[in-house]
């Protein structure tokens, strides 16, 4: 009787190659190594799964998922003993090494052994050393991705600091422009197109089509026509003007446009964090990367800031807090002016008559560019008869809301009735009222009122 021939062990081979991996890790090369290893050990490869161009940071890869769902965890799949993988990094560059071990353990529970081709089968007396070596290699695989991510991030920061795009699409009304090695425009990039040469750059510019005009109209309707975001959305929908992705407008889409500093030529990078696929989160303002005047703007900075103040008061939560604080500031200043008027000989009735038209304004501080506060004061027609208005800067998160005072000539407000400036403007020192000059300026206001 002839002796029975032992059937060869059977295996599934898994390959993975991502965009950032070197050519020696390509799927065809991994397949060659797997076949040679199988031949050397008398193993039959009955099926292959390959993830081409897929990151190993997560387990959500099509072929990796098929490997488990259709073969390892499927009781109806053909019998096999091994899962052949070129090395630990091809299994995955999981940032949590326990996750890599977890998927190996799932295989073990089903009677399938993960074998790394570069390591081979460990000897019986070297099992502990083999496990330790695998743990170290898992850490190294994860560390490779971390280091690569840091290099890419710092490169993107440098590019963004220079005002160029580090990736992403252009917002509504804008387009991407490809620049050559000398930073001269080549052409407009279409959706899905990217630069092909490393030292080329990509910047943004107004598209100068109907979408650009819609952006201008949105700011105009809010600031100059006092329309709310909901009313603006309704206006655009009534005229069948599609939004960025072809759908209908709503107030959230309008707000996103009105608060996007790209429209004043500012390049902002690192507003959010989603590196290594470890979850999306918003970064604090201190970590944002700003480049001002990086490309042509669609709207003027003053108009943009006026829009932010208008939006601020349209947000219910902020509006309630802001109204309370600014009204408190105005009451404080009016009380001071009233006391001065009474001291100047005016009666209570006369003071009451002047009370609503006293030249007092207040503005909340807006921090649009890192830590530099910006203020926007709006003057009613009634106050334009005075030479100056007393303007209070309100800090909403402080117990005493008035942080600074300014005496601003009414001529500065122009026809639109707005005056916008920040600490970086010369108007800050020109019109600022230090404490020692406050009484003097208040007395000037009182004299002007009494003379009327």
For residues 222 and 128, membership in a common domain is answered with no
Considering 280, 304, 328, which residue would you say is the last residue of a domain? 304
Q: Does residue 326 form part of some domain?
A: yes
For residues 46 and 139, membership in a common domain is answered with yes
Residue 195 sits in which domain range?
174-304
For residues 344 and 414, membership in a common domain is answered with yes
For residues 320 and 297, membership in a common domain is answered with no
For residues 36 and 75, membership in a common domain is answered with yes
Q: What is the pLDDT of residue 361?
A: 83
Q: What is the pLDDT of residue 3?
A: 46
Q: What is the pLDDT of residue 42?
A: 92
On whether the CB atoms of residues 159 and 201 are closer than 8 A, the answer is yes
Tens of pLDDT, residue by residue over 239-262, are 999 998 889 999 889 989 998 889
pTM: 0.54
For residues 138 and 180, membership in a common domain is answered with no
Tens of pLDDT, residue by residue over 44-53, are 999 999 998 8
Q: Does residue 159 form part of some domain?
A: no
Tens of pLDDT, residue by residue over 289-345, are 888 888 999 999 889 888 887 887 676 555 555 566 677 777 777 777 777 777 777
Tell me the backbone φ, ψ of residue 135, rounded to 5 degrees.
-60, -40
Tens of pLDDT, residue by residue over 426-448, are 888 899 888 667 677 767 766 77
Q: Does residue 116 form part of some domain?
A: yes
For residues 132 and 179, membership in a common domain is answered with no
For residues 203 and 295, membership in a common domain is answered with yes
Q: What is the pLDDT of residue 357?
A: 66
Q: Does residue 167 form part of some domain?
A: no
- pLDDT at residue 167 tops 60: yes
The whole-number average pLDDT for the span 174-190 is: 87
Q: Does residue 375 form part of some domain?
A: yes
Residue 74: pLDDT band by 50, 70, 90 thresholds? very high
For residues 191 and 113, membership in a common domain is answered with no
Q: Does residue 151 form part of some domain?
A: no
For residues 299 and 320, membership in a common domain is answered with no
Higher pLDDT, 355 or 388: 388
Using DSSP bridges, classify how beta strands 9-17 and 82-85 pair: parallel, antiparallel or unpaired: parallel
Q: What is the pLDDT of residue 273?
A: 65
pLDDT averaged over every residue in the chain: 82
Most confident option among 29-43, 126-140, 348-362: 29-43
- pLDDT at residue 268 tops 80: yes
On whether the CB atoms of residues 177 and 205 are closer than 8 A, the answer is yes
Q: Does residue 259 form part of some domain?
A: yes
Considering 304, 327, 347, which residue would you say is the last residue of a domain? 304
Q: Does residue 296 form part of some domain?
A: yes
Considering 304, 330, 356, which residue would you say is the last residue of a domain? 304
- pLDDT at residue 405 tops 90: no
Lowest average pLDDT, out of 97-101, 121-125, 305-309, goes to: 121-125
- pLDDT at residue 20 tops 80: no
For residues 133 and 188, membership in a common domain is answered with no
Q: Which residue has the tokens 């009534």?
A: 238
Q: What is the pLDDT of residue 286?
A: 66
Q: What is the pLDDT of residue 367?
A: 65
- pLDDT at residue 365 tops 90: no
The whole-number average pLDDT for the span 349-370 is: 71
How many domains would you assign to the chain? 3
On whether the CB atoms of residues 286 and 228 are closer than 8 A, the answer is no
For residues 130 and 199, membership in a common domain is answered with no
Q: What is the pLDDT of residue 279?
A: 60
- pLDDT at residue 421 tops 50: yes
Percentage, residues of the chain above pLDDT 90: 29
Higher pLDDT, 411 or 351: 411
Q: How many other C-beta atoms can be found within 10 angstroms of the C-beta atom of residue 452?
A: 8
Q: Residue 119 is part of a domain; what is its CATH number? A: 3.40.50.1390
């Amino acid at each position: 009787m002839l002796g029975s021939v032992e059937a060869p062990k059977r295996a599934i081979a898994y390959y993975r190659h991502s965009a950032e991996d070197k050519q020696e890790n390509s799927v065809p090369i991994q397949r060659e190594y797997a076949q040679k290893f199988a031949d050397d050990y008398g193993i039959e490869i009955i099926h292959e799964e390959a993830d081409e161009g897929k990151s190993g940071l997560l387990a959500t890869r099509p072929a990796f998922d098929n490997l488990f769902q259709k073969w390892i965890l499927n009781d109806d799949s053909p019998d096999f003993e091994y899962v052949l993988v070129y090395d630990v990094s091809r299994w995955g560059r999981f940032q949590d090494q326990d996750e890599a071990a977890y998927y190996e353990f799932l295989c073990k529970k089903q009677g399938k052994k993960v074998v790394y081709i570069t390591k081979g089968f460990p000897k019986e007396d070297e099992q502990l050393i083999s496990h330790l070596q695998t743990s170290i290699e898992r850490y190294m695989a994860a560390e490779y991705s971390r280091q690569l991510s840091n290099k890419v991030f710092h490169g993107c920061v440098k590019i963004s600091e220079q005002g160029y795009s580090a990736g992403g699409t252009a917002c509504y009304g804008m387009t991407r422009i490809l620049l050559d090695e000398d930073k001269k425009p080549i052409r407009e990039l279409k959706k899905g197109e990217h630069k092909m040469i490393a030292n080329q750059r990509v910047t943004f510019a107004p598209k100068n089509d109907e979408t650009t005009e819609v952006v201008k109209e949105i700011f105009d309707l809010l600031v100059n026509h006092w329309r709310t975001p909901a009313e603006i959305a309704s206006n655009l929908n009534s005229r069948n003007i599609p939004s960025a992705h072809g759908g209908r407008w709503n107030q959230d889409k309008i707000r996103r446009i009105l608060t996007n500093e790209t429209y004043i030529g500012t390049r902002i990078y690192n507003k959010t964090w989603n590196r290594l696929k470890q979850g999306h989160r918003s970064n604090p303002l201190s970590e944002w990367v700003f480049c001002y005047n990086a490309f042509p703007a669609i709207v003027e900075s003053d108009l943009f800031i006026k829009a932010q103040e208008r939006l601020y008061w349209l947000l219910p939560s902020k509006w309630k807090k802001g109204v309370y604080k600014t009204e408190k500031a105005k009451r404080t200043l009016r009380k001071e002016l009233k006391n001065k008027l009474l001291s100047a000989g005016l009666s209570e009735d006369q003071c009451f008559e002047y009370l609503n038209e006293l030249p007092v304004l207040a503005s909340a501080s807006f921090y649009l560019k890192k830590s530099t506060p910006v203020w926007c004061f709006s003057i009613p027609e009634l106050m334009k008869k005075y030479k100056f208005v007393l303007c209070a800067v309100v800090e909403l998160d402080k117990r005493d809301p008035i942080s600074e005072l300014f005496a601003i000539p009414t001529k500065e407000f122009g026809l639109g009735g707005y005056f916008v400036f920040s600490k970086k403007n010369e108007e800050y020192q020109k019109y600022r009222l230090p404490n020692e000059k406050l009484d003097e300026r208040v007395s000037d206001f009182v004299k002007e009122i009494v003379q009327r």
